[in-house]
Structure 1
Amino acid sequence: MKLIKLDAIDSTNDFLKALSNQDELDNFTVVTAENQTKGKGQMGSKWESESGKNLIMSVLVKDFLFNNEQVFNMSIIVSLAVVEVLKSLDIPDLSIKWPNDIMSYNKKIGGILIENTIKSDGRIVSVVGLGLNVNQTNFEYLPHASSLAVISGNLFDKDIFPKLIIENIQQKIESWQTESLCYWKKYYNTLFRRGVPMPFKNLENQNFMGIIQGVSAIGKLQVLLEDDSVSEFDIKEIQMLY
């Protein structure tokens, strides 16, 4: 694992994407930063992080995805890898809020942003960004957020996380051919609020009740509606109200 440490950057994902365009970077090259001024979440949302307190990292992953129908497999691998590392550190009540937010109880402690680029030869190269709230304790303006320190009552050495997470991701990629069904099942069983009636909001700002049933092969959320039909929603087409 090649590690590039930065003090401050606008976005580790943008930095790593630009670097990968100029150089033939090693697979699993990692960029970390103490501070990120323009951190990104899903669909252009902003990722806020207190300088020096949290894990901000991006990793380059090649030679795993080979067509667009497979891209959600990366979300499964990365989110499960993070959850398993946190479980090993005794972080309680972990779940994955679709598609790949990391939750403890009902608080968000981590977010994942995966950006895929199709190269001229058809290869898909992924830049996987991860923000993990580690030692930040002030979430005054983020009522749904928390951190490992708040939840566990302990401070952590955030520098241990890149190696632990990347090793877990590599192991899952290497075993994907034989273990993919197992990983999909683990992801399904770890879904936040699966099987529980809860309110949602759609693109028209209409509230409705539904029950999360699972996720489709291409990553759409499957929700059982009040008329007993099941609808599929893409990212940002639906918002969980919790």
Structure 2
Amino acid sequence: MNIIKLDAISSTNDYLKKLMSRQYVENFTIVTAENQTQGKGQMGAVWNVEPGKNLTFSVLVRDFLLDIGEIFNLNRVVAVSIVEALETFQIPDLSIKWPNDIMAGNKKVGGILIENTIKNNGEIFSVVGIGLNVNQKDFSNLPKAASLSVIKGMEFDKQAVFYEIAENLKQNMAAILHKNTLVFLEKYDARLYKKGVPMPFQDLAGKQFMGIIRQVSPTGKLEVIDENEIIRYYDIKEIQMLY
């Protein structure tokens, strides 16, 4: 794989997209930075990291998605790949908080942002941004966040974690190309944060209610059964888990 290592950059996703606009970039090129000053999360949220302590990198994925309706398949593969990689480092209580947060217990340790571009010929290019808290210790302003180091009480070799994730991602994407999508749907749902547990939620109108996560639909909608035993489906940002 082609790896571009940078000291500081505003956003690895933006860097990779600009690079693609100027030249041919081979599939699975990875851009990684020690310091990302304007990291992005889902729906415009900001991903702030302590310089030199964490992993921030972006991966170009091309020739993977053939239809825009399959976009959440990529989300599944990326999330499962990260969790499987972290399991090799014995990180406890790993799960995936829909749609794209990596959890250890009740703490967020990582996140995913996938940005897709559709070319005139219908080809879909995906830039997969991954942020992972590795050795950062101070989360005083982020009470729901933690790092691998905080969780395990030890320092980690960032490069070892990076290569484990990258290799696992590459292998899993190769499996998906052989149309083995059902396996990753099952793996994603099996690791779903708070699945089957009564939890408080809040919808876009601000209404709070109790519900139970059942699964995630093939297109990426969260399936929740509410207190009246009505099954409802939610898109990203249409519902918030109050935990």
Which range, TM-score by smaller chain? Answer: over 0.9
Query: SS where residue 175 of structure 1 aligns?
Result: helix
In the alignment, the residues of structure 2 paired with residue 172 and residue 150 of structure 1 have an alpha-carbon distance, to the nearest angstrom, of 28
Instruction: Name 2:233's counterpart in structure 1.
Output: 232
Q: Displacement, 1:127?
A: 0.3
Instruction: Name 2:83's counterpart in structure 1.
Output: 83
The amino acid that maps onto 1:2 is N
For the Cα contact (< 8 Å) 1:12–1:58, is it kept in 2?
Answer: yes
The amino acid that maps onto 1:217 is P
In the alignment, the residues of structure 2 paired with residue 160 and residue 119 of structure 1 have an alpha-carbon distance, to the nearest angstrom, of 35
Instruction: Name 2:149's counterpart in structure 1.
Output: 149
Alignment of 1:120-135 (within 5 A): 120-135=120-135
In the alignment, the residues of structure 1 paired with residue 190 and residue 31 of structure 2 have an alpha-carbon distance, to the nearest angstrom, of 31
Instruction: Name 1:52's counterpart in structure 2.
Output: 52
Alignment of 1:205-220 (within 5 A): 205-220=206-221
Counting aligned pairs with the same residue, the percent is 56
TM-score by length of 2: 0.97
Query: SS where residue 180 of structure 2 aligns?
Result: helix
Q: Displacement, 1:161?
A: 2.9
User: For each residue in 1:43-73, what CA deviation from the matched residue of structure 2 results, as whole angstroms up to 9, or x when unmatched?
Assistant: 0001110011000100001111011110000
TM-score by length of 1: 0.98
For the Cα contact (< 8 Å) 1:31–1:58, is it kept in 2?
Answer: yes
For the Cα contact (< 8 Å) 2:92–2:104, is it kept in 1?
Answer: yes
For the Cα contact (< 8 Å) 1:28–1:166, is it kept in 2?
Answer: no
In the alignment, the residues of structure 2 paired with residue 87 and residue 214 of structure 1 have an alpha-carbon distance, to the nearest angstrom, of 22
Instruction: Name 1:102's counterpart in structure 2.
Output: 102
The amino acid that maps onto 1:225 is D
Q: CA RMSD in A?
A: 0.9
Instruction: Name 1:39's counterpart in structure 2.
Output: 39
Q: Displacement, 1:163?
A: 2.3
User: For each residue in 1:188-238, what CA deviation from the matched residue of structure 2 results, as whole angstroms up to 9, or x when unmatched?
Assistant: 010000000000111111111110011111101111011211111111111
In the alignment, the residues of structure 1 paired with residue 226 and residue 82 of structure 2 have an alpha-carbon distance, to the nearest angstrom, of 31
The amino acid that maps onto 1:184 is L
Instruction: Provide structure 1 residue ranges, at least 5 long, that are not aligned to the other structure.
Output: none
For the Cα contact (< 8 Å) 2:196–2:214, is it kept in 1?
Answer: yes
Instruction: Provide structure 2 residue ranges, at least 5 long, that are not aligned to the other structure.
Output: none
In the alignment, the residues of structure 1 paired with residue 242 and residue 24 of structure 2 have an alpha-carbon distance, to the nearest angstrom, of 43
Q: Displacement, 1:178?
A: 4.8
In the alignment, the residues of structure 2 paired with residue 182 and residue 12 of structure 1 have an alpha-carbon distance, to the nearest angstrom, of 30
User: For each residue in 1:98-143, what CA deviation from the matched residue of structure 2 results, as whole angstroms up to 9, or x when unmatched?
Assistant: 0111000000000000001001111111000000000001000100
The amino acid that maps onto 2:161 is F
In the alignment, the residues of structure 2 paired with residue 226 and residue 132 of structure 1 have an alpha-carbon distance, to the nearest angstrom, of 35
Q: Displacement, 1:162?
A: 3.0
In the alignment, the residues of structure 2 paired with residue 207 and residue 178 of structure 1 have an alpha-carbon distance, to the nearest angstrom, of 39
